[in-house]
Every structure is written in C-alpha cells, then in structure tokens.
Amino acid sequence: MADVAVIGAQWGDEGKGKIVDWLSARADVVVRFQGGHNAGHTLVIDGEVYKLSLLPSGVVRKGCKGVIGSGVVVDPFALLAEIERIGAQGVNITPGNLAIAENATLILPLHQELDAMREGSSAGVKLGTTKRGIGPAYEDKAGRRGLRIVDLADLDSLPEKIENLLVHHNALRRGFGHDAADAGALLKMLRAVAPKITPFARPVWRELDAAHKAGKRILFEGAQGVLLDVDHGTYPYVTSSNTVAGQAATGAGLGPRAVGYVLGIVKAYTTRVGEGPFPTELHDAVGQKLGERGHEFGTVTGRQRRCGWFDAALVRQSLKIAGVDGIALTKLDVLDGFDELKVCIGYRINGETYDYLPAGAGNQAAAEPIYETMEGWDGTSEKARSWAGLPAAAVKYVRRIEELIETPVALVSTSPERDDVILMRDPFQD
C-alpha cells in the first residue's frame, strides 16, 4: 500500500476537497503540509456540506486522524472559529482526532494588517492575496523571528519574542504611515488563546513516523496548486509556500520515501482567482458559461474565478515539476452541452513557439495560446461512475488530455458528490 500525496496541478480550486474526502474514507491519517487558512476545500457527505480552510479534510470522518504539519502557518483564532463552526455541524474536534505540529508558525493579527496595508497601497505589485496574513507569517518564519505554537506553552518567554518581532513589523508599519503595534495587547491576546490551542500541540513527526511504520494509510493534503508554488509558479503572483509534492515530506516531518504515490488534481478546464497571467482566459460568453455551470466562486473569499479552456501545456509542465504519478480529472460534467471544446497545446510568444510557459513575467504576460479544437457532446457525463456512463466524445476528450499531459488519468470526477467517481487506478494500491 502506498501513502498518497494530493496536490493541485493548476492555480488551485481544482476540487481537491472532494477527492481528498473520497480517499480519506480509506485513510487512517490526513495531513495538511503547507499553506494556511486560505485553502478552500468543500466536502459533500450525505448531503451535508463542509467547508474547510485549515482543518485537514479527514477530521469530518470518524476514525480518521487529522494532522496540521509544521509546513502550515496557523492562525489560532481562525482555527478555533473553524473548530466551532464544524462542531455546530456535529463534528467534534478534540486532541484525540487533531494534532498540530508544535513547531508550526503562528499567523498573528499584525500579519493580516500588513497584508492589507500592502494590498491597499498605491505602490508595488498587487498580488491579489486573501489578506489573511499568510505571506507575512511565512516571511517571519524565514526571517527567524516568527512565533510558533510551542511558544504558547512558554508564556514567560513571549514578551521578549514579541519585542523582537515588533522591531521588524513596526518599521514596516511606520513606512505605511500606521501606528506601532501594541506589544501588550498582542501578549494579552496570546495568553488568552494559549490554553485552547496547546492541548492540540505535539511533535507530530513522531506520531507520523509511528503510523508509517505500523502500515497506516497516510494521506497528505495539499492546498493551492503547483502554478502558485513560490519557486515554480507564475511568480510573483504566487502563494508563499511550496505547493509541490516534495513539500509533503518536509511540511509533515517525514522522509521523502514516505510519499509513495502523488495524485495531481486537474480541472477539466482552467480557473484562476486573483491577479497574474492566464493564457487561456476567456472574456466572452463561453467563459461566463463555464463560471456559471461550474459555480466558480472562491470557497474562502467568495471572489469570482477567472475561467478559460484547458491548458494542456501548462498542466504537463506542472505534473513534471511536481512528480505526479496520476491525475484526478474533476468537473468533467461542467463541459456537457458545449458544441466544441478547445485545448491549449502550446504558446506563441513574440513570434516564437513554446511547448511550455517560460518563467519570465514578460513572456508569461505575452503568451498567446495555440489551440487544438475537439468535438463537444450532447449527452450528460454528470454522475457517471463508469466509462460506459460517459458520452463517446467525453471519453475521447479525457483520453486526448491524457496523451497531451503525458500522465495517466487515475480518477474522473463527474459531480460534487463524493461517490460520483470513475476509478481507473487506486492510488492507495498503486
């Protein structure tokens, strides 16, 4: 049996929540390994809709343990609010079914304030962040001044650590014309939240190592997507963490051999939230139809997603960078009823042809898609659970995508419902 890492292979919003939930039915542990509470994973179980941002998807399932790894930045206040919200839906979150890495970095209110200052400034590049303080928290982590979960268990050391942190932040705040942060107020806030968070904190690497040695099935749950990776994405319009499969080991605290199979989640068309290049974006009725049929609004922000045709060149690039073994193709049913479909197979940039998207921002902005046109289908693929349930043209579309991205299709999702899946390869058995 292989432990499985699930990552998004586009710009996020690929439908990871449903696939993770489908896989978590057979997992013993589900681990979040990067990102923060900007993830938006929607799960539909027996008609009940769960919207998770920070909690691992496995926590809504009895007998499955959730772990938040050290690669995640944790807003303690958002976490407690999410625990309370999920609790109101009948899911009781306790230290028995949720563990948080004691060395995970905290997101503080001053991180959110800095995010808002930057996005609201007339200077600099607008990145279109969710303004949840995630990027600034990662900056403090890399700068070795961040506060961590473990610091909440040592309250006597907090004043000195807060002062060290504010030397940096107050200089930035003055630059934006804002008052200095109140160290006393921040200390009071952290003292109040500490007893609610520390019961969940422990060295999760030990628990994961024990689970791995015992043959437990571990599912690593990624957030965002490869094209938002801070190293490999469309920089600077990226998130502040590594979203590729290699981060699953680092952000959880296990060696790379622990990840046996990498499943990339790929939407049957393309969407993006926020700023940045998007070669196949559609500004016409077709793009609007994709958005309406796919209910393309951000789970976390509510922002309308930009929509476009499937970009096989970009997905192929993502899958190779991330080391993906197979993909789960989601939202195929959204394409029902289109007369024709287009798939991007490369780009024209300043008179030259590329079969990948170059790293330079200027080239990315200038990229014009080269399309291959395919036949649409009149029938419905919605709720299909076998190849026989798909229109013939839909099967051809899936098979052609498989050829273009040079990676096998392991699963096809045909509705938001968990069980509406066509299974070709079981990632846990691969």
The set of catalytic residues is 13, 41
Neighbours of 277 (CB within 10 A): 18
Question: Collapsing DSSP states into helix, strand and coil, what is residue 117?
Answer: helix
Report the C-alpha gap between 29 and 21 in whole angstroms: 12
Four-point Cα dihedral 105, 7, 78, 251, nearest 10? -20
Report the C-alpha gap between 298 and 273 in whole angstroms: 7
Closest Cα partner for 139 from 118, 160, 123?
Answer: 118
Report the C-alpha gap between 57 and 331 in whole angstroms: 19
* DSSP single-letter state for residue 135: H
Q: Is the Cα dihedral 382, 384, 390, 394 positive or negative? A: positive
Question: Collapsing DSSP states into helix, strand and coil, what is residue 56?
Answer: coil
- Are 109 and 141 in contact, with CB atoms under 8 Å apart? no
Pairing of strands 41-45, 48-52: antiparallel
Report the C-alpha gap between 148 and 125 in whole angstroms: 29
Report the C-alpha gap between 223 and 54 in whole angstroms: 9
Give every CB contact of residue 322 below 8 A, 6+ residues apart in sequence.
7, 9, 226, 232, 244, 245, 246, 262, 264
Burial class (CB in 10 A: 0-12, 13-18, 19+), 252: buried
Neighbours of 24 (CB within 10 A): 25
Which parts of 268-386 are beta strand (E)?
A: 270-272, 306-308, 310-311, 326-330, 340-349, 352-354, 368-375
Neighbours of 175 (CB within 10 A): 10
Strand partners for 59: none
CA atoms within 13 A on the CB side of 395: 11
